[in-house]
Every structure is written in structure tokens, then in C-alpha cells.
């Protein structure tokens, strides 16, 4: 009889301890993910757009193209203009180079003639050569010197003209380069890429539609790196810190829960009134603080699913 009384007393103590113990969870909330709405960066017909809701795509993968045929034609025309201008500039450089070569040739002829004059002057002095040959060499030197002066004047005049022409050509080429860079950016914008690795949540347009710059095309989310947004009271906040490891439970229905290891990644620095859909340890609390607990998703957790966090 005594043993029966002791056993009943132990059961009563156990039930009381369970009733007075802590709740199974510390706070509850809903699972969220980083979502991105991708909009068109160009205007035109949607030539290709091969994605489907629920599909997972990698970052920077091309998922569609906006018609850029006219832009590519414009780029090709600008490239042809630039080649013509470059040809004109090269012709100017060639003319300038030819005059320099002429001047160098005349200088060399003058040097050779002066060398011949020096040699013949010795022969004339010794009476071994007629004076006329020396006079002919002097006349030849004078003619070459006049040619040199004329060539120098031509170089000076042409240099100014050719320099101005070259400057104008270079300015035109720089302008074309700027236009080409702008067109290249527009062509790149016509290519639709996924900004992050994630899952397509919603698709707003279809292939063949005409889209304008800024029109939303699709929405996607990173469903591998998800987080639970929960709310805690100021009393609970004292026991939470950034980087802290906690247990997160996802509601799988029928009273079943799937647990994950989570990390406190963000704590709000400002309090707010208790959201109606959120339960805290003290349901009568008026002000709570939002926290985010990051988890690695195995594919089970969905956006908007309810979850619980336990320290």
C-alpha cells in the first residue's frame, strides 16, 4: 500500500512538472526566401523565353532574348564607318611618311654631292680635273638645297593640314566607339539572365509577346538558403544573439515536424506590435522583436510554411 502511494505521488509530480515546464517551442513564424523580380532591360519582341514555374536555374544563365536585330545591324554599320575613317587616317599618315622619306633622300643626295665636291676640288687644285665639273657639282647642290627647302615647306604645310584632318578623324572614330559601346550595352540588355541561383516562382509573360523596358518578366527565389522569420519578446531577446545555433522545426502536417539546424542571422533593432498571426512565449506581449534564423533547405520547406524555433 505504501509503495502504491509513493508511485502515485511520483506520477503526480511528473504530470505537474510537464504542465509547469516550458513550451515545446521558443517562438513561431513563417519561412521566407530572398526573392527577385526580373524586369526587361530593353524594348522589343520576346524572341525566346524558355522557363517554367518551379524550374531551378543557375545564376547568370540566359533564360530568354528580346529581339536585337536592328541593334546588331546598327552596330555593323558603325563598324563599317569606323573602318573607312581608319583607312583615311592611314592614308594621311602615309602621305606624311612619304614626304619625310623624300626629305631624307634629298639630304642624303646633298651629303653625297658635297663629298664629291670635296674630292673634285682637290683634283682641280692639282690640275687633274677641269673646273667645269666642280661648277656642275655646285649647281647640283644648289638645286638639291632648293628642293629640300620646298619639301620642308610642303611638310610644314601638310603637317598642319593632315594633323587637323587626323584630329577630326580621331574624333569621329571616338564618337563611333562610344555609340558602339552604347549599342553593345543595349544588345547585352536584350539578353535575359537569372540574377541568382534559384527557383522560378511566377512567370508573367510568354514568348512572342512585345515587352517594354521595366516590364516584369518573372519572379524567382533562392529556395536553398531560406530563413524563418519569428518574433520574440524583450525577455526572450536577452537569450538570443547573432550567430547562435538553434533548432528549427517545419510543420509537416498531422502533428509531424521536420527539424533543421538554424543560425540566428538577423535581430531587429526596433520593436513592433505583435503580428496577429504570430504566437510568442508571452501571447499578451504588445511589443516584440523580429529575428531571422537561416537554414539549409533540403527541398521540403516551402515559402510561407509555418515553423517553430527552439533554443
Q: Domain boundaries in the chain?
A: 23-67+200-310, 69-188
Does the pLDDT of residue 90 top 80, yes or no? no
Tens digit of pLDDT for each residue in 62-72?
Answer: 999 999 877 77
How many other C-beta atoms are found inside a 10 Å radius of the C-beta of residue 240?
19
Looking at residue 172, what is its pLDDT?
78
How many other C-beta atoms are found inside a 10 Å radius of the C-beta of residue 9?
10
Q: How many angstroms separate the CA atoms of 301 and 291, rounded?
A: 18
Tens digit of pLDDT for each residue in 224-241?
Answer: 999 999 988 888 888 889
Q: Which of 126-130, 136-140, 148-152, 264-268 has the highest mean pLDDT?
A: 264-268
Does the pLDDT of residue 282 top 80, yes or no? no
Q: How many angstroms separate the CA atoms of 281 and 23, rounded?
A: 8
CA 43 to chain centre: 20
* Phi, then psi, of 203 in degrees rounded to 5: -120, 120
CB 235 within 8 A of CB 85: no
> What is the average per-residue pLDDT within 85-110?
75
Q: How many angstroms separate the CA atoms of 223 and 232, rounded?
A: 25
> What is the average per-residue pLDDT within 281-287?
56
* Phi, then psi, of 308 in degrees rounded to 5: -130, 155
pTM of the model: 0.60
Helix (H/G/I), strand (E/B), else coil: 214: coil
Q: How many angstroms separate the CA atoms of 84 and 88, rounded?
A: 6
Q: 23-67+200-310 falls under which CATH superfamily?
A: Efflux pump adaptor protein, beta barrel domain (2.40.30.170)
Closest CA to 60 of 84, 36, 76: 36
CB 217 within 8 A of CB 49: yes
> What is the average per-residue pLDDT within 208-222?
94
Helix (H) or strand (E) holding 18: helix 2-20
Amino acid at each position: 500500500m505504501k509503495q502504491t502511494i509513493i508511485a502515485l505521488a511520483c506520477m503526480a509530480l511528473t504530470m505537474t512538472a510537464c504542465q509547469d515546464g516550458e513550451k515545446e517551442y521558443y517562438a513561431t513564424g513563417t519561412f521566407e526566401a530572398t526573392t527577385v523580380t526580373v524586369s526587361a532591360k530593353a524594348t522589343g519582341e520576346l524572341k525566346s523565353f524558355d522557363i517554367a514555374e518551379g524550374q531551378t536555374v543557375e545564376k547568370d544563365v540566359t533564360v530568354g532574348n528580346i529581339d536585337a536585330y536592328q541593334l546588331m545591324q546598327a552596330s555593323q554599320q558603325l563598324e563599317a564607318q569606323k573602318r573607312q575613317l581608319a583607312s583615311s587616317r592611314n592614308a594621311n599618315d602615309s602621305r606624311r611618311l612619304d614626304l619625310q622619306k623624300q626629305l631624307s633622300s634629298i639630304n642624303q643626295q646633298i651629303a653625297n654631292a658635297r663629298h664629291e665636291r670635296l674630292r673634285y676640288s682637290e683634283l682641280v687644285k692639282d690640275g687633274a680635273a677641269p673646273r667645269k665639273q666642280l661648277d656642275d657639282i655646285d649647281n647640283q647642290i644648289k638645286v638639291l638645297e632648293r628642293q629640300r627647302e620646298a619639301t620642308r615647306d610642303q611638310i610644314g604645310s601638310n603637317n598642319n593640314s593632315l594633323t587637323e584632318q587626323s584630329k577630326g578623324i580621331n574624333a569621329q572614330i571616338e564618337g563611333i566607339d562610344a555609340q558602339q559601346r552604347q549599342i553593345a550595352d543595349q544588345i547585352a540588355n536584350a539578353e535575359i539572365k537569372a540574377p541568382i541561383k534559384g527557383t522560378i516562382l511566377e512567370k508573367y509573360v510568354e514568348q512572342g509577346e512585345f515587352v517594354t523596358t521595366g516590364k516584369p518578366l518573372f519572379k524567382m527565389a533562392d529556395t536553398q538558403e531560406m530563413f524563418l522569420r519569428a518574433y520574440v519578446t524583450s525577455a526572450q531577446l536577452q537569450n538570443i544573439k547573432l550567430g547562435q545555433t538553434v533548432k528549427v522545426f517545419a510543420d509537416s502536417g498531422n502533428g509531424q515536424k521536420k527539424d533543421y539546424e538554424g543560425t540566428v542571422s538577423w535581430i531587429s533593432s526596433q520593436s513592433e506590435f505583435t503580428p496577429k498571426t504570430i504566437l510568442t512565449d508571452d501571447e499578451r506581449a504588445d511589443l516584440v522583436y523580429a529575428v531571422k534564423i537561416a537554414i539549409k533547405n533540403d527541398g521540403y520547406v516551402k515559402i510561407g510554411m509555418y515553423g517553430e524555433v527552439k533554443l
